[in-house]
Structure 1
Amino acid sequence: MKRWQGIAAAAVVVVVVAVGGWRAMGARQAQQAAQAQLATQKAQPLVELAATDVVRAETRELRRGLPVSGSIKAVNSAFVKARVPGELLELVLREGDPVKAGQVVARIERTEGQARLNQAQQQADAAKAQIDIAERQFNNNKALVDQGFISKSALDTSQNNLAAARATHQAALAAVDLARKGVEDTVLRAPITGVVAQRLAQPGERVAIDGRILEIVDLSSLEMEATLSAADSVELRVGQDATLQVEGSARPVAARVARINPSAQAGSRSVLAYLSIADTTGLRQGLFAQGTVRLGQSSALAVPLSAVRTDKPSPYVQLVEDGKVVHRAVQAGERGDADKEKWVAVQGIAPGAVVILGHVGALREGTLVKFTGGPSPQPSPASGRGSKSPSP
């Protein structure tokens, strides 16, 4: 009896030792598994993203536009030029002074012109006197021919002399008109209403014919002269609206395509287009402007242009799926503006996909993602990946 009790006690001890060893082995295995999992997590890369680092792919109204730039010019401008040579007098206008069409802006010393007019007038008077003499000669010869005292040829000669005298008088009168116009041209008048842009001569200077005195510009009508490539000019049409940003001005300026040059520039093959500016308040000739001509709009699934990466043979975007970075090849379509940012239509991703923006940089596929400042964005129902959550 005692022998069996000893055996039973020994068996119990063996069982207890075996259970304890099994439990210790399980705990050791669990600890090893936890350590291995922790090591794996430490070895796998992890990137933290903010809500501003991602955006959802969604249908957008893309406004297509053509970038343009150029200088602002006055539609109407003119140079006041000297039509006769002489000393410049009475020029008091300076840059910025307003003028009206027909206003006297300067004079040229008229002594020479007046002397030429007097000379021409005296020559005309002399020619008129020759006509009187020729007329009397003709009348006398006609009476003598009628009485038979002189031949018919003498009358013809006097008639020709009268015709020559009249022609000489007409030429002298034309010379008088020409000299008078020269005197009138000593008064310089503004050809248009506007503002003096340049004063190109000074009082007392002797100016030559066609010498520039003043430049006048009409600031009530301004336009931008834009230079376009041959490819860009194909889509441009007269009447298309544009929005410009003028150098030194914070306000946007509305404009419209007014004219397109039918000929390309020699050498560069560029095409000039002219955009009329609606509100010219505060604008000046010569300022630089740039903006966009609106070509139309379309609706498509789109992502920001900066999110489409091209460091692989095919364009792709970086998505966040199941807490990891996934690369998806896409086909880029039309580009346009949305929310004051460049977006591009894409094919190859589902609506609502969480797209990593371009400023984050290239991330390795499979990289774990952790969102800071809140829960990670979840795909919308349109993507078939779960319930809808607010866009980041």
Structure 2
Amino acid sequence: MKRWHWGVVAAVVALVAVGGIRAIGARRAQQEAQAALAAQRAQPIIELARTDVVRADTHELRRVLPISGSIKAVNSAFVKARVPGELQDLKVREGDSVQAGQVLARIERVEGQARLNQAQEQADAAKAQIDIAERQFNNNKALVDQGFISRSALDTSLNNLTAAQATHKAALAAVDLARKTLEDTVLRAPISGVISQRLAQPGERVAVDSKILEIVDLSHLELEAMLTAADSVDLRVGQEAALQVEGSARPVAARVARINPSAQPGSRSVLAYLEIADTTGLRQGLFAQGSVTMGSSSALAVPLSAVRTDRPAPYVQLVEGGKVVHRTVQMAQRGETDKETWVAVSGVPAGSQVILGHVGPLREGTLVKFTGGPPPQPSPGAPASKSPGA
């Protein structure tokens, strides 16, 4: 009887122990589920706008070279005084159009006219001396033939005639020089263009080589760009460029016309000259900047701003399965697409949703949801992306 009693007690204790163990396991499972749910609720969800991501697609990358510089006239000239004197009849001012050969001003010509008259009188006197020497030579020649004078007297008269002729030639040259000096008192436009500077006023006494006016030809303008030695290596005559001129909203097309064969002393920079196609509304001295197209290539690319470099290896942030994923990438050539710099990359599947750089760094595994519309689709007209195995 006692053995049976103890057996029942043992069975009851065993049942109680098993029930307790089951209750403890159920409570622990419930606690773990509640902890997981709480953790899931506590995990932040990042909201991204449609404009915060872009698809990695195949793009035509234009390799460009940034340039900047001042616009200059291909043809310009200074009108200078060639003779000293008082400046007269200067009527043109800045902004006036002039034609090549047009009379712009005069230098007082009284002194020049007097010198021309003096030279002419000296030439006439030299011509009279030739007549006298020639008659004397002819007379002496007749006397020599008759035997009245010696041969040496004839030689002397011949020398006098030769000297008189040389003096007359020198006098005529002096007349030409005086006439040229008188003509130089008239200041004419060497080229057609517009007056950009008036550097003297009527009534002033100017010296030789004094600058009076500056003329620029606005029909032919070019950009003078200073390039580093490395940038100038791939630059070629004929390459196209797009410029933006200060104060003008319209883009300006240009073409590399010339490249200086010598580097500048000290800076070792190289000057390149870009011919501007349409000069309407442009002026000399305006600042312009833009880029020269060096070539193009097609590649799978992402915006350069989306590539992060805060780790030893560059990477991009993707949205995959509603979460943030980090992918290490290898960068290749860079280029322009829709006025934005893109870079060819490998290590990213085509069509991936790439988070742009302005969003900032996100922890891998962060949940993501989009607001304001679905994720971006490939841009219209963009080349179709191909999978690596295609």
**TM-score above 0.5:** yes
Match of 1:274 in 2: 273
Name the SS for the 2:243 alignment partner.
strand
Partner of 1:69: 68
Paired amino acid for 1:318: Q
Partner of 1:91: 90
CA distance in structure 2 between the aligned counterparts of 1:166 and 1:378, rounded to whole angstroms: 97
Partner of 2:309 in structure 1?
Answer: 310
Equivalent pairs: percent with the same residue? 79
Distance 1:222 1:152 in 2: 74
Q: Which segment is superposed worse, 331-340 or 29-38?
A: 29-38
Query: In structure 2, what is the Cα distance between the partners aligned to 1:202 and 1:138?
Result: 58
In structure 1, how many angstroms separate the alpha carbons of the residues matched to 2:233 and 2:368?
Answer: 46
* In structure 2, distance between residues paired with 1:221 and 1:147: 78
Structure 2 equivalent of residue 58 of structure 1: 57
Partners of 1:314 and 1:140 lie apart in 2 by: 111
SS at match of 1:231: helix
SS of the counterpart of 2:326? strand
Contact 2:255 2:274 in 1 (8 A): yes
Task: Report the alpha carbon displacement of residue 313 of structure 1 after superposing the two structures with TM.
Answer: 1.5
2: CA distance, partners of 1:375 / 1:252: 34
Distance across 2 between alignment mates of 1:383 and 1:140: 115
- The residue number in structure 2 matching 1:9 is none
Q: 1:53 to 1:291 in 2, by over 3 A?
A: same
Distance 1:208 1:247, change over 3 A: same
Separation in 1 of the partners of 2:309 and 2:51?
Answer: 22
| Partner deviation per Cα, 1:257-306 (whole Å, 9 max, x = no partner) | 11111111111111111111111110001101111111111100000010
Q: What is the SS of the residue equivalent to 1:105?
A: strand
Is the contact made by 2:57 and 2:385 (CA closer than 8 Å) also made in structure 1?
no
TM-score (norm 2): 0.89
Which letter does structure 2 place at the counterpart of 1:283? L
State the partner residue of 2:239.
240
Structure 1 residues 157, 289: CA separation in 2 closer, same or farther (over 3 Å shift)?
Answer: same
Counterpart of 2:334 in structure 1: which amino acid? R
Contact 1:255/1:275 (8 A) holds in 2: yes
SS of the residue 2:61 aligns to: strand
Task: Provide the C-alpha distance between the structure 2 equivalents of 1:381 and 1:83, rounded to a whole number of angstroms.
Answer: 71
Structure 2 counterpart of 1:119, one-letter code: Q
Structure 2 equivalent of residue 141 of structure 1: 140
| Secondary structure of the corresponding residue to residue 91 of structure 1 | coil
Seen in structure 2, the aligned counterparts of structure 1 residues 208 and 381 have a Cα distance that, compared at 3 Å, is closer
Measure, in 2, the Cα distance between the counterparts of 1:375 and 1:194.
Answer: 59
| Residue 253 of structure 2 is aligned to residue 254 of structure 1 | yes
TM-score (norm 1): 0.88
Counterpart for residue 228 of structure 1: 227
Give SS of 1:350's match.
coil
* Alignment match, 1:182: 181
* Aligned partner of residue 154 in structure 1, secondary structure: helix
Cα distance in 1 for partners of 2:51, 2:74 equals 46
Distance 1:275 1:382, change over 3 A: closer
The letter of the residue matching 1:365 is: E
* 1:301 matched residue in structure 2: 300
Q: Take 2:25 and 2:101, find their aligned partners in 1: how far apart are those partners?
A: 111
Residue matched to 1:284: 283
Counterparts in 2 of 1:96 and 1:75: CA distance versus 1, 3 Å: same
Residue pairs, 1:1-392, within 5 angstroms: 26=26, 32-374=31-373
Cα distance, 1:64 vs structure 2: 1.3
Instruction: Letter of the 2:254 partner, please give it.
Output: A
Deviates most, 33-42 or 349-358: 33-42
1:11 matched residue in structure 2: none
- 1:60/1:132 Cα in 2 relative to 1: closer, same or farther (>3 Å)? same
TM-aligned CA deviation for residue 240 of structure 1? 0.9
- Deviation, 1:32, is 2.7
Contact in 2 for aligned 1:70/1:226 (Cα 8 Å): yes
Aligned position for 1:8: none
Superposition misfits of 4+ residues, deviation over 3 angstroms: 21-26, 28-31, 42-46, 374-384
* Aligned-residue offset at 1:375: 5.3
> How far 1:367 moved relative to its partner?
2.3
> Counterparts of 2:375 and 2:79 in 1: how far apart (Å)?
71
Relative distance call for 1:128 and 1:220 in structure 2 (3 A) is: same
Cα 1:381–1:270 change in 2 (3 A) is closer
Aligned residue for 2:92, secondary structure, equals coil
Aligned to 2:7: none
Unaligned runs of at least 5 residues, structure 2: 1-14, 379-383
Is this contact kept in 2: 1:325–1:366, CA < 8 A?
yes
Q: Which one is further off, 152-161 or 369-378?
A: 369-378
Residue 149 of structure 2: SS of its match in structure 1? coil
**Which secondary structure does the structure 2 equivalent of 1:227 belong to?**
strand
What residue number does 2:5 align with? Answer: none
Aligned length in residues: 367
Deviations 1:234-256 (A, max 9, x none): 11111111111111000001111
In structure 1, the gaps of 5 or more residues are 1-14, 385-392
Deviations 1:122-143 (A, max 9, x none): 1111111111111111111111
Cα distance change, pair 100–381 in 1 and its aligned pair in 2 (3 A):
closer
Other structure's SS at 2:289 match: strand
1:266 aligned counterpart, secondary structure: coil
How many Å separate the matches in 2 of 1:377 and 1:99? 59
Aligned mates of 2:376, 2:115 — CA distance in 1: 93
Partners of 2:196 and 2:268 lie apart in 1 by 32
Counterpart contact for 1:353–1:383, Cα < 8 Å: no
| Partner SS for 2:126 | helix
SS at match of 1:366: coil
